[in-house]
Structure 1
Amino acid sequence: MLFTRRRALQLMASGASALALRPSFAQQSASLPIAAGPFKGTRESLAAYTVPAWFAEAKFGIWSHWGPQSAVEYGDWYARTMYIQGSSEYYYHVETYGHPSKVGYKDLIPQFKAARWDPDHLMDLYVKAGAKYFFSMGVHHDNFDMWNSKYQPRWNAVATGPQRDIVGEWKTAARKRGLRFGVSEHLSNSFDWFAPAHTSDSTGPLAGVPYDGTLSDYADLYHDYSGMPANFAKTAEAMGRVAPTWWKLQYFNRVKDLIDQHQPDILYTDGGIPFDEYGFSLVANLYNVSAARHNGAVEAVYTSKTRTDCETGTCALDRERGVLDDISPTPWQTDTCIGGWHYKRGIKYKSAKKVIDLLVDIVSKNGNLLLNFPLPNSGELDYEEMVTLNGITAWMQTNSEGIYATRPWKAYGEGPAMKVVIPSNGKEFDPNEGRKPDLGPTDIRFTTKPGILFAFVQGWPGAEAVITSLGTTSAQNPPKITSATMLGHDAQLKFTQSSDALRVKLPGNRPSTADIGIALKLTTA
């Protein structure tokens, strides 16, 4: 795309510096301005990175995937699918608000008020539930920044909607309670993702009438497609990351502004590292900012959903709604949700049992669980969300000793669920975690601390827990067990370790969270 006077004026209006207006600047990675520190914006430099110890010890985080699309309370990707004729969101939008040629996403953003949002109250709930880190949405594909954005001055949470720095208030609440703080950015996909807003109905009385995404006055929200191929809006893939150079530079400036203002401990990107030198420079900036805050030690984590990004240093692997099949030598993360990503009225949520099954399986494989509780427009958790959160809280208050600061054992587990193989879809988004059955009393997962082996029995087995992996002739060559207790129960438990299994006699008073699972604490010789 030619670097036109119109584009220069748009960049200046959005807060871009004079330096950012030079085309050569956008083409030279060495010129991208990043904080001084141990890393440069190249893949080779980032290969020296290692994931900090705190991330491997934290194990459980909670995420608020919340923004203007939540105001509609009709699910994820609403700002895109409301422009796709035939979709349920399109029909809902036409019936509720009007046709998208007349009432568009720009008109819904002011409805995002966060009228009863209390970040301190919510953070207290999340800390009680056992979260060791918290994530705020930074910016979704909808191009709306949830902080006081220097480079998106009209469409941010301080300028419109709640008129509050959502990221900043979440950060203050989290760090006040000793939690690590993360932000998610989904901006790199936005240019393609918003393409349907630049189209029109193909049938009906308004066929051919452009949707409001084509209005030049709102190009700072829906993007400026001048200079793009004529059919781009109809052919662009939602997560295609096909964008002109000026957009890649704007992406860099905005996410760097997010990092510089809020200095997150974790930055999540929705996909792999985007746009080559722009993405590498953002990762380097994140790590260098962290090093400056921590006397030279890099305490920050960047997550990528592309395995090749994280094979040598660089980042931590993230699996959206997916779980690895075995133990990873390096820490990784599953991000998932108790329901949908953005709030939708009437949706069925994951039970506390499903969440804890996921958590112990993930932790047994050297991973972390990042769990989204989608807030409605009000900013308050609904009743059913509180049911799930309270169930997690009750279980974690008894059993979290076997979760935090643990490492994998020789095998991650045993039991019938290990034989249930649901193939990955081969993409960054892998829905297998929602299709796996609940774990039961013969499904065991293991974690360790020095001199201790934790065995999570994912259901109440009755009078006795039987663990075949700890039989003396097991292929795992297990250690000798010298004592056994159950977390939440102080008394020593009787046990026998024979050739075929370890058998532990369980107490008669069944714990209230036993149907979710119990944790046996086994000391080893």
Structure 2
Amino acid sequence: MTKYAFLIKSTAKFLIILLFISNNAFAQAVYEHERYVPETDPLVLKKLEEWQDLKFGLLMHWGPYSQWGIVESWSLCPEEYGWCERKKGSNPDNYFEYKKEYENLQKTFNPVNFEPEKWAEAAKNAGMKYVVFTTKHHDGFSMFDSKYTDYKITDEKTPFSKNPRANVTKEIFNAFRGQGLWAGAYFSKPDWHHPAYWYPYFPPKDRNVNYSPEENPERWNEFVEFTHNQILELLTDYGKVDILWLDGGWVAKDPKANILNWYEQELANTTHGYLKHRMVNQDIRMDDLVVKARKKQPGLIVVDRAVYGKNQNYLTPENRVPEAALPYPWESCIIAGGGWSYSFDAKYMSTHKAVHTLVDIVAKGGNLLLNIAPSPKGEWDGEAYQLLENIGKWMDVNSEAIYSTEAISPYKSGKVCITSKPKENSLYLIYLMDEDETNLPNSIQFLGLDVDIKKATLLGSKGTIKWTKKDGVFTFLIPKPSRKKLEGVPAFTVRIETN
């Protein structure tokens, strides 16, 4: 490359980065279409294809922090974001006293009403097909019986350790697998409790390791080995694990190696403020870890979130739905009510909102991972159960338009989303009812569909329905008896059989 070519290329990159800074939409578009490295392991590829057919899963954030009803872990992080604000404890203005009180929540954590079978049954009835549980969040508290730390739910300092079901990760995985759901282990790569990550000699600076790994290789290697050991524990002693869902994308090898790729990723994750914190080389030998992990669990799906590369088998837009279909496996993780962790005054999304979110995501080829947070006593709010029950009633009628479907352009026309099953020559038009729209319309229209229709039916209603086509617009007539029968639904589906 000549020096002039290099200069042009460098200038172009700089200008693109400036565009990212000034135009979030453009940055998001680039991120969502160019930041995926395809998997090559045939077992993983097969597993990913199966996972993409599942469409709907459950995420659960749970730990001692639920006793305070605060955001998980982040109040320990010395960064100036709203979710890091300290509001609990006897002296929140004193960081070190606060951290001590926070970690002492271990001594009062006693979820005596823990009964994961109720959660698993509700999830199954809602149509969920997999669960991702927080085995450890950034605060370092292990919700499993790790032999590498005493900061865990099964330690004698934790009251619940005396309960026969104290190893809650194992109990949750067993309960959900018992209902036929896949098991996924959320695991935080950073650990703000471990002395080899936040070395007690130094105060923490931000979310990163608080010393230089390059200048302290022995200490950093201690942390890497600890991380590997804990993850391999989860993949050895907890039955079949289908997904390893790793959080804390700032813990990665040389995050400045490709500034353009880094900027794309981090700008798409501004909800956690990645753009403002410093970047530190935190190489935890992820490639080696994944090899060891898949020896334990062949075909394991690994989600090294927000880290560009081959160990991010699917991408995870957080609390948002992409504007268009994406050309790789992806999943939106969305809060059902309150926050990621338990809130005492949580307000849950409506059934309409939940169903519409699911449909919107599936029509774009993604999966929905809906977060519900257990209480300090180990319970779900009644509103959470009600929401899942309502989703389940809708899925009982419409699930064939959700599971094992593929995205098909134009994805949506007006208030109608479309999904497809090419192998069955079937299309599904899903009309999204407004919250105040109880009566079904007399007809629905869809623009941009170029097919030869053989038959059209309405899911949940008997008989065929009529259709017409004019100027590229299909119009489907909804019979009056069907409108009456489906009155009040959040959405309804027209099934199309094509020639």
In which range does the TM-score fall when normalised by the shorter chain?
0.7 to 0.9
Aligned to 1:330: 328
Residues 364-410 of structure 1: per-residue CA shift (max 9 Å, x gap): 12211111111111111112223322221221121111111111123
Aligned to 1:412: 411
Aligned to 2:88: 92
Residues 80-134 of structure 1: per-residue CA shift (max 9 Å, x gap): 1699899895343227999962861222112221111111111111100001111
Residues 424-451 of structure 1: per-residue CA shift (max 9 Å, x gap): xxxxxxxxxxxxxxxxxx2423333421
Aligned to 2:222: 246
- The answer to whether the 8 Å contact 1:155/1:221 transfers is no
Residues 210-268 of structure 1: per-residue CA shift (max 9 Å, x gap): xxxxxxxxx66994333xxx5x52x3236999753322221122122222222410111
- The answer to whether the 8 Å contact 2:363/2:411 transfers is yes
Take 1:410 and 1:371, find their aligned partners in 2: how far apart are those partners? 25
2:461 aligns with one of 485, 489, 508: 489
TM-score by length of 2: 0.74
- The 1:84/1:326 distance shift into structure 2, 3 A limit, reads closer
Take 2:54 and 2:357, find their aligned partners in 1: how far apart are those partners? 15
Take 2:231 and 2:291, find their aligned partners in 1: how far apart are those partners? 12
Structure 2 gaps, min length 5: 1-35, 214-219, 253-281
* SS in structure 2 at match of 1:411: strand
- The 1:365/1:109 distance shift into structure 2, 3 A limit, reads same
* SS in structure 2 at match of 1:114: coil
- The answer to whether the 8 Å contact 1:468/1:500 transfers is yes
Take 1:91 and 1:370, find their aligned partners in 2: how far apart are those partners? 29
2:445 aligns with one of 460, 466, 471: 466
Q: 1:182: how far off?
A: 0.5
Q: What is the RMSD of the two structures over their aligned residues, measured on CA atoms?
A: 3.2
- The 1:130/1:183 distance shift into structure 2, 3 A limit, reads same
* SS in structure 2 at match of 1:120: helix
* SS in structure 2 at match of 1:126: helix
* SS in structure 2 at match of 1:356: helix
Take 1:136 and 1:241, find their aligned partners in 2: how far apart are those partners? 30
Residue type of the partner of 1:260?
Answer: T
* SS in structure 2 at match of 1:141: coil
- The 1:303/1:142 distance shift into structure 2, 3 A limit, reads same
Residues 24-50 of structure 1: per-residue CA shift (max 9 Å, x gap): xxxxxxxxxxxxxxxxxxx99965452
2:119 aligns with one of 119, 122, 125: 122
Residue type of the partner of 1:333?
Answer: E
Take 1:176 and 1:64, find their aligned partners in 2: how far apart are those partners? 18
- The answer to whether the 8 Å contact 2:55/2:402 transfers is yes
Residue type of the partner of 1:394?
Answer: K
Aligned to 2:69: 73
- The answer to whether the 8 Å contact 1:51/1:331 transfers is no
Aligned to 2:13: none
TM-score by length of 1: 0.70
- The 1:303/1:83 distance shift into structure 2, 3 A limit, reads closer
- The answer to whether the 8 Å contact 2:197/2:209 transfers is no
Take 2:84 and 2:244, find their aligned partners in 1: how far apart are those partners? 32
Aligned to 1:349: 348
Q: 1:286: how far off?
A: 2.9
Residue type of the partner of 2:353?
Answer: K
Aligned to 2:53: 57
Q: 1:148: how far off?
A: 0.9
Q: 1:279: how far off?
A: 1.8
Q: 1:76: how far off?
A: 3.1
Take 1:241 and 1:456, find their aligned partners in 2: how far apart are those partners? 53
| The 10-residue stretch of structure 1 (510-519 or 401-410) with the greater mean CA deviation from structure 2 | 510-519
Structure 1 gaps, min length 5: 1-42, 195-218, 292-297, 416-441, 471-477
| The 10-residue stretch of structure 1 (90-99 or 497-506) with the greater mean CA deviation from structure 2 | 90-99
- The answer to whether the 8 Å contact 1:305/1:319 transfers is no
1:344-383 matches, within 5 Å, as: 344-383=343-382
Take 1:239 and 1:412, find their aligned partners in 2: how far apart are those partners? 43
Residue type of the partner of 2:245?
Answer: Y
Take 1:239 and 1:400, find their aligned partners in 2: how far apart are those partners? 45
Aligned to 1:281: 288
Residue 269 (structure 1) aligned with residue 246 (structure 2): yes
Aligned to 1:237: 207
Residues 440-498 of structure 1: per-residue CA shift (max 9 Å, x gap): xx24233334210011111165110111122xxxxxxx111111111111221121133
Residue 316 (structure 1) aligned with residue 288 (structure 2): no
* SS in structure 2 at match of 1:361: helix
Residues 159-195 of structure 1: per-residue CA shift (max 9 Å, x gap): 2242211110011111112111111011x2224xx6x
- The answer to whether the 8 Å contact 1:481/1:524 transfers is yes
Aligned to 2:184: 182
* SS in structure 2 at match of 1:50: helix
Residue 455 (structure 1) aligned with residue 429 (structure 2): yes
1:225 aligns with one of 195, 200, 204: 200
Residue type of the partner of 1:66?
Answer: W
1:164-175 matches, within 5 Å, as: 164-175=166-177
- The answer to whether the 8 Å contact 1:456/1:517 transfers is yes
Take 1:463 and 1:241, find their aligned partners in 2: how far apart are those partners? 66
- The 1:224/1:341 distance shift into structure 2, 3 A limit, reads same
- The 1:393/1:238 distance shift into structure 2, 3 A limit, reads farther
Aligned to 1:388: 387
Q: 1:58: how far off?
A: 0.6
- The answer to whether the 8 Å contact 2:245/2:305 transfers is no
- The answer to whether the 8 Å contact 2:135/2:144 transfers is yes
Aligned to 2:235: 259
* SS in structure 1 at match of 2:59: strand
Residue 302 (structure 1) aligned with residue 302 (structure 2): yes
- The answer to whether the 8 Å contact 2:420/2:427 transfers is yes
Aligned to 1:131: 128
The size of the alignment, in residue pairs, is 408
* SS in structure 1 at match of 2:380: coil
Q: 1:270: how far off?
A: 1.2
Residue 521 (structure 1) aligned with residue 498 (structure 2): no
- The answer to whether the 8 Å contact 2:125/2:389 transfers is no
- The answer to whether the 8 Å contact 1:69/1:79 transfers is no
- The answer to whether the 8 Å contact 2:405/2:419 transfers is no
Residue type of the partner of 1:185?
Answer: F
Residue type of the partner of 1:378?
Answer: K
* SS in structure 2 at match of 1:104: helix
* SS in structure 2 at match of 1:395: helix
- The 1:66/1:486 distance shift into structure 2, 3 A limit, reads same
- The answer to whether the 8 Å contact 2:407/2:418 transfers is no
Take 1:448 and 1:324, find their aligned partners in 2: how far apart are those partners? 22
